[in-house]
Amino acid sequence: MTPGGDPWRLRRARAIHLLPHTPHAEEILSFYVGLTEAQESLADRVPVSDWSGLIQSREGEFPRLRVPGLPLEELALPFRDFLSTVAEFGTETIKSGAHALLSRDDDRQLEPLRAALGAWGKAEKTGEDVEDDREEQEEDFYFYARAFLEPIVTSIAQADSSQPTDWTQNFCFVCGEPPQVAVLRDLPDAVGHRSLMCSICATEWRFQRLTCPHCRETEADKLPVHTADSIAHVRVDACATCSRYVKTVDLRQDGTAVPLVDELAAVELDIWAQEQGLTKLRANVLGL
């Protein structure tokens, strides 16, 4: 996790820094600045020790948190407050979705959370278990559930993000969700150290280089890299075998990058990748 810092404030500062340099991502980043503000005030309200006690897995079991065990009744009020905040600064689509949820009765307002928690950790299985119609409808509201759950799970995850020594999976050992982005950095004992960063709680774990995090392809000529002249420190790592891609943020090129934010800002790489018929390993919080 971000050493000694509040992740939301750090992300917001990075988004503000990137704004004048990334014309393609202006709308995205402006919205993200407001979103991280809402997420920060939500993070301050999370009763970390109460809830971490509820969702802790047994010693040695992974993921360490059973996120679907979060107490839905206790999430109701903070969720409503979060929707009210987002309804004030979002894009027109985001605002109208928030209003639609706010006009629902109390129990139905929680449906997006129920659906997101029901599908937790199963991102790789969509298709084989496409849920009933009700849950499908809630997919339109997935953004609100995910943006709301991120600070909650992150706050709880920060308590213990030490990596189990033998963790080689492609999902987060803390919360069970897939990675958002890969990160390259030089460490004293490992040049070009590669890790994956969780899409929800930002936990990082070491992951083998030259290996597709989706299908584990290792043949170099099946793993093309795409870069754009405009962004030196973010690239696309694609896999010709499973047609997935993940963006990599290279901290050796820009040590001030904040991977989840730089990933979000490099939207032209997503456009390129999707034109090539590639599917992102995990869409980011804004659905890109």
Residue numbers at the binding site for Zn ion (CB under 5 A): 172, 174-175, 198, 200-201, 203, 212, 214-215, 217, 239, 241-242
Quote the least distance from Cβ 203 to Zn ion, whole Å. 5
| Cβ closest to Zn ion, residue 29 vs residue 182 | 182
Quote the least distance from Cβ 247 to Zn ion, whole Å. 15
| Cβ closest to Zn ion, residue 66 vs residue 99 | 66
| Cβ closest to Zn ion, residue 239 vs residue 257 | 239
Q: Contact at 8 Å (CB) between 115 and 145? A: yes
| Cβ closest to Zn ion, residue 83 vs residue 269 | 269
Q: Contact at 8 Å (CB) between 227 and 242? A: no
In the block, tokens 């290996």 appear at 211
Quote the least distance from Cβ 27 to Zn ion, whole Å. 27
For residues 95 and 135, what is the distance between their CA atoms, to the nearest angstrom?
Answer: 21
In the block, tokens 């990058």 appear at 257
Quote the least distance from Cβ 37 to Zn ion, whole Å. 22
Cβ burial, residue 256 (10 Å; 0-12/13-18/19+): exposed
Rounded (10°) angle between helices 142-157 and 92-102: 90
In the block, tokens 């600045």 appear at 33
| Phi and psi torsions of 153, nearest 5° | -70, -40
Quote the least distance from Cβ 137 to Zn ion, whole Å. 26
Single-letter residue type at 41:
S
| Cβ closest to Zn ion, residue 98 vs residue 153 | 153
